[in-house]
Amino acid sequence: MGDVNKAMFVNKKNKYSVRDFPIPEPDENEVLVQVLYSGMNPADLRHPKYLGIRDTVIGDDFCGRVIKSCSPKFGRDDLIAGYTPLLIPRPAKYGTYQSYLCCPDNMYYKVPKNLPIEDAAALTLVAMTAADTLFNHFGLPLPTDREKTPSGPILIWGASTSVGLCAVQYARASNCETIIATASPGRHELLYKFGATHCFDYSSPTVVQDIQATIAVAKKGPHAYALDAVGSREKPTSADWIRQCATNTTVLASVIYQFNKRYSRLKSRRDHLTIHDVAVFPALLSQPKRKASAIRLAFLSQGKLNVSRKKI
């Protein structure tokens, strides 16, 4: 182990720089990780700008090897991937854009041999955000609960985003019969493969009417759920679009904070919803046959998550 810890630091004025930090020490039930890959997320820049999480090391997702363990669950040399606590103020040791970080033992998983490590680094945050949406806010049945079925259609606006692709697969695994996705036309084939039942071009001038007509024809009850998986801020925003498609009873959620009481505020980090809860699903992680910056996350069916990555 070297004695230099290179890190991407954001100061109090929201300015970024590369700095040398001392190698951190893990607390009880934490591990010290040598970072191999750091996952890239829009939140890496949004958290300092909008939440004021500054004067710290940035980054949320990672994949690396345990070099020191203060946890009975994991040992030295384990190859793990996960995400780290989001706190205000946030200790620098939890930032993932650095050579060495610390992570609590309930926020990561052992990387299976068939999962590329660069893809494992970018999986956790988006997968858990989608899981929080569908299984906590929307209350969809878990894939293991085969006796229950969702009460109505689900709309995923921006379904080809990382969170959107996860949400489509979760919805399919939970037996949603009507999964409506919006994306550019070039992504429709992929979305159908992963579980979408209807795909629409979000830039179409008739997209709202087309979605409403699809819901009416499905005859599966009211438009039950809608997820803004884009979080755009340009007017009209992606949240504005799904409100136009929704009914008064639709449960709404967005990946960014919305100044509207109808929207649920999503969390990827919940004490009762960590990566270990995913183990209760009949999960299979496998590498796609064709070369791509992606992985397949399967519960009852196989699918691929579109993930971004950055090498440290």
Same structural domain for residues 89 and 134? no
Residue 42, preceding peptide bond in cis (omega within 30° of 0): no
* Residue-range definition of the domain harbouring residue 140: 125-265
Domain contains 283: no
Domain contains 310: no
CATH number at 26 reads: 3.90.180.10
Same structural domain for residues 155 and 67? no
Same structural domain for residues 131 and 238? yes
Question: Parallel, antiparallel, or unpaired for β 309-311 and 30-39?
Answer: antiparallel
Same structural domain for residues 147 and 203? yes
Q: pLDDT value at position 260? A: 66
DSSP string, the chain: --S-EEEEEE-TTS-EEEEEEPPP---TTEEEEEEEEEE--THHHHIIIII---SEE---EEEEEEEEE--SS--TT-EEEEE----SS--GGG-SSBSEEEEETTSEEEPPTTS-HHHHTTTHHHHHHHHIIIIIIS-PPPTT-TT---SS-EEEETTTSHHHHHHHHHHHHTT-S-EEEE--GGGHHHHHHHT-SEEE-TT-TTHHHHHHHHHHHHTSSS--EEEE-S---SSSPHHHHHHHH--TT-EEEESS--SSTTEEE--S-BTTB-GGGGGGS--EEE--SS--SEEEEESSS--EEE--EEE-
Q: pLDDT value at position 280? A: 28
CATH number at 252 reads: 3.40.50.720
Same structural domain for residues 23 and 78? yes
Domain count for the chain, please give it.
2
Same structural domain for residues 183 and 103? no
> Which residues of the chain have a pLDDT value below 50?
269-312
Domain contains 43: yes
Q: pLDDT value at position 102? A: 97
Give 209's contacts (C-beta < 8 A, 6+ positions apart): none
The structure's pTM equals 0.78
Residue with the two structure tokens 């979000």: 202
Amino acid at 95: G
Domain contains 103: yes
Domain contains 143: yes
Same structural domain for residues 102 and 135? no
Q: pLDDT value at position 296? A: 26
Same structural domain for residues 54 and 11? yes
What is the distance in angstroms between the CA of the first residue and the CA of the last residue of the chain?
Answer: 15
Amino acid at 310: K
Round to whole Å and give the CA distance between 13 and 261.
31
Q: pLDDT value at position 305? A: 31
